[in-house]
Structure 1
Amino acid sequence: MNNDIASLQRILRQYRTIAVVGLSAEWHRPSFFAAKYMQEHGYRIVPVNPRYAASGTAILGETCYATLADIPFAVDMVDVFRKTEDVLPIAQQAIDIGAKCLWQQLGVNNLEADALARAAGLDSVTNRCVKIEHARLMGGLNWAGVNTGVISAKRPG
């Protein structure tokens, strides 16, 4: 596992194209919130969700793909917003497409998928939120701790 601070910083600096498996188009879902944050910090977000791909729905202005194998360009990181028991085949797909990192989101901790990814030479992060780790380690936290843009002292208009 690459859950130590130095590894997380290296991963966040090096891997700039992130396929988000399970990304929702609903703004209030954690996957959307995290992906939007990363996109706003210069990362390319690649939505992977068969539900939205089938309907041709773009998420965060990006084409949504049904599977990792459908993505026609290189992906650095596969960020997984799925249940722990769903991660193993996603890890294999990440290896198959040549991803460099498998990132299992907060609450997702498939140790078999982690071992598979590491054995194939991928960096692997488990049970961590990419948004939280970026904010914590790369200077994205403001004085209040979270810069959501939802609460502001500025008047709208």
Structure 2
Amino acid sequence: MTQNDTDNRLKAILTSTRVIGLVGLSNNPARASHAVAGFLSRKGYRVIGVNPGLAGKEMFGETVVATVRDLPPETDMIDLFRRSDGVEPIVDAALEALPDLKTVWMQLGVENAAARAKAEAKGINVIENRCPKIEYPRLFGDAALSELVG
């Protein structure tokens, strides 16, 4: 796949996605998961945090849930801030629980071949080792760059 094919695929995903389950959301503003969730929320996505320690609290206008099984059925992307070796059971649960799931996005440094194979076998897009907060402004232009500092 060429870079242009990859970029077109990423653009299509970021354009069509509406509801993101962000697994590993932190309430610490210094953590990457918090910054990414805030950025995506400001870009108009509905971002629902998944963190058992924060379940029931409101962040970015949504109530944090304990597991991916607790996400609303219209969740069409999960964004994983987990270690690579912990991804497969989360993806398994998402594939079972989320009928509208279209994308499994694994953050920078996160890759899992077994989870990828299971998701792709069900027709789900899989992105590994990338961050939507980096990809969005790169793909959609300089106007989005001002959001990176926020």
After TM superposition, the score normalised by the length of structure 2 is 0.89
In structure 1, how many angstroms separate the alpha carbons of the residues matched to 2:78 and 2:117? 15
Greater radius of gyration (CA): 1
- Matched with 1:89 is 89
- Matched with 1:148 is 149
- Matched with 2:38 is 36
Higher helix share: 2
Aligned residues between the structures: 143
- Matched with 2:8 is 6
Correspondence 1:20 to 2:27: no
| 3-state DSSP of counterpart to 2:105 | strand
In structure 1, how many angstroms separate the alpha carbons of the residues matched to 2:73 and 2:95? 14
Q: Which runs of 5+ in 2 are unaligned?
A: none
| 3-state DSSP of counterpart to 2:89 | helix
In structure 1, how many angstroms separate the alpha carbons of the residues matched to 2:140 and 2:93? 29
Q: Alpha-carbon deviation of 1:61?
A: 2.7
- Matched with 2:78 is 78
Q: Which runs of 5+ in 1 are unaligned?
A: 150-157
The alignment yields a C-alpha RMSD, in angstroms, of 1.7
In the TM superposition, what whole-angstrom CA distance separates every residue of 1:30-51 from its partner, at most 9, and x where no partner exists? 0000110010011110111001
- Matched with 1:66 is 66
| 3-state DSSP of counterpart to 2:62 | coil
In the TM superposition, what whole-angstrom CA distance separates every residue of 1:79-129 from its partner, at most 9, and x where no partner exists? 000000010011112211121110000110111111111011101000000
In structure 1, how many angstroms separate the alpha carbons of the residues matched to 2:35 and 2:117? 28
Correspondence 1:122 to 2:124: yes
What letter is aligned with 1:70?
A: D
Q: Alpha-carbon deviation of 1:60?
A: 2.0
